[in-house]
Structure 1
Amino acid sequence: MSAYGVSNQTVVDKVPQEMMHLVDPHWFQFPPMNPLWHGLLGFTIGVLGFISMVGNGMVIYIFSSTKNLKTPSNLLVVNLAFSDFLMMFTMSPAMVINCYYETWVFGPFACELYGCAGSLFGCISIWTMTMIAFDRYNVIVKGIAAEPMTKKGALLRILFIWFAALSWTLAPLFGWNRYLNMKY
């Protein structure tokens, strides 16, 4: 660091050379983070990931094994818990490891898979919450006159959610756009 508090270091200095093509020039203007923040973020993500996996695992187990909770509406809740569980299962360990190394250590293809997993499970969670909201809207606004959701209807919604999310998420792996936003 110079006498004026300015240095030539940037946040991308630790990025491996084979991954530099994935980094937008925008990020070269920022100084590196204090290593303490990497450690705190890694620890926090590790704790939250563990809590999330245990909590969502319990929801999946309880809702799937209790006869009274096996309703069509709760199928959407189980789908949400499943996608959230998979989100933390695939994202949290890699994030913790990379926080402690202060850079991505798994290579460019794993970086794309990481982005794909985050996009997939994020889309599934959002669309599942949307379907839950539509179901609740139907029940609250129409009351007794509402047509109840059937198991077949819930399963068709879940199938649509997974198909739509996979369609949008897998496209970048086949060259249609990228998981990175290049415009600022």
Structure 2
Amino acid sequence: IIATVGNGMVIYIFTCTKNLRTPSNLLVVNLAFSDFCLMFFMCPPMVWNCLHETWMFGPFACELYAMIGSLFGVTSIWTMVFIALDRYNVIVKGLSAKPMTTKLALFQIFCIYLHGLFWTLAPMLGWSRYVPEANMTACGTDYFTQTWHSRTYIMVYAFFAYFVPLLVIFYAYYFIVKAVASHEKSMRDQAKKMNVSSLRSGDQNSTSAEFKLAKVALMTISLWFMAWTPYLVINFSGIFQLLTID
């Protein structure tokens, strides 16, 4: 409920506030929309199934449930990738950076959903499949069937939907944090030379805001990966026969 309301408020605020309708914030709105859909469509069925201790909605609904989870899960993580790259472009490259445009932001969002649809539809076309998970309260990719299709799908899916984004985000934020630290150090050194406590002024508020946004985004991404890593571990434990069903 908190996630649904929170992301709904983000979408409302960013779309209704004129000053926030920037190309970069289109990615933020898309992230909020993706997370909103993930919570809105996934949580109610899971709660109902938990109350009945089994999947209650039939095979087709199971596949649809897993598809929605896969689509918006991939969409969220790759939106975070492009947000990180946008912050890298603004903070690290600075004035030499190519500015984000509405057309570019929309193209990136289109590519994100196209990428998500590929991984979402693959199990429906024979590369692995969607099945009820071990606890029978949710559905996802088949990580217990020891076939070439199931194993390769999960391994390749994990590579493009987890490891590659993780490396790109770490790369971007490593240089963002490095640039922030260098900037702060130079500001302190210059302030000491001028015998003042700080060089910050109203003209630098926008730059300071960029740094704060980067720090907030880094924390958000860290929490997101902490939430999804256990699911990756479960999938890998299944395909490598580290888990059994009693």
Q: Establish whether TM, by shorter chain, passes 0.5.
A: yes
Once the two structures are superposed, residues 137-174 of structure 1 have per-residue CA deviations (whole angstroms, 9 ceiling, x without a partner) of 11111112211110000000000001110111111122
2:142 paired with 1:180: yes
* Number of equivalences: 135
Tell me what 2:13 maps to: 62
2:41 paired with 1:90: yes
Partner amino acid, structure 1, of 2:115: A
The 5-angstrom pairing of residues 162-173 of structure 1 reads: 162-173=113-124
Q: TM-score, normalised by structure 1?
A: 0.71
Structure 1 residue 121: deviation in Å?
A: 0.4
For 1:93 and 1:60, locate their aligned partners in 2 and report how far apart those are by CA, in whole Å: 21
- Identity percentage of aligned residues: 66
The 5-angstrom pairing of residues 6-155 of structure 1 reads: 50-155=1-106
Partner amino acid, structure 1, of 2:143: N
For 2:64 and 2:127, locate their aligned partners in 1 and report how far apart those are by CA, in whole Å: 15
For 2:124 and 2:72, locate their aligned partners in 1 and report how far apart those are by CA, in whole Å: 16
Partner amino acid, structure 2, of 1:74: N
Partner amino acid, structure 1, of 2:12: Y
Structure 1 residue runs of 5 or longer lacking an equivalent are: 1-49
Partner amino acid, structure 2, of 1:180: D
Structure 1 residue 110: deviation in Å?
A: 1.2
CA RMSD of aligned residues (A): 0.9
Once the two structures are superposed, residues 58-117 of structure 1 have per-residue CA deviations (whole angstroms, 9 ceiling, x without a partner) of 000100011000001100000000000000111000010001001111112211111111
Q: Indicate the structure whose relative CO is greater, using CA pairs within 8 Å and at least 6 residues apart.
A: 1
Secondary structure, aligned partner of 1:125: helix
Secondary structure, aligned partner of 2:45: helix
Once the two structures are superposed, residues 2-58 of structure 1 have per-residue CA deviations (whole angstroms, 9 ceiling, x without a partner) of xxxxxxxxxxxxxxxxxxxxxxxxxxxxxxxxxxxxxxxxxxxxxxxx111111110
For 2:30 and 2:8, locate their aligned partners in 1 and report how far apart those are by CA, in whole Å: 11
Structure 2 residue runs of 5 or longer lacking an equivalent are: 130-140, 145-238, 242-246
Tell me what 1:159 maps to: 110
Secondary structure, aligned partner of 2:93: helix
Runs of 4+ in 1 over 4 A off after TM superposition: none
For 2:104 and 2:58, locate their aligned partners in 1 and report how far apart those are by CA, in whole Å: 41
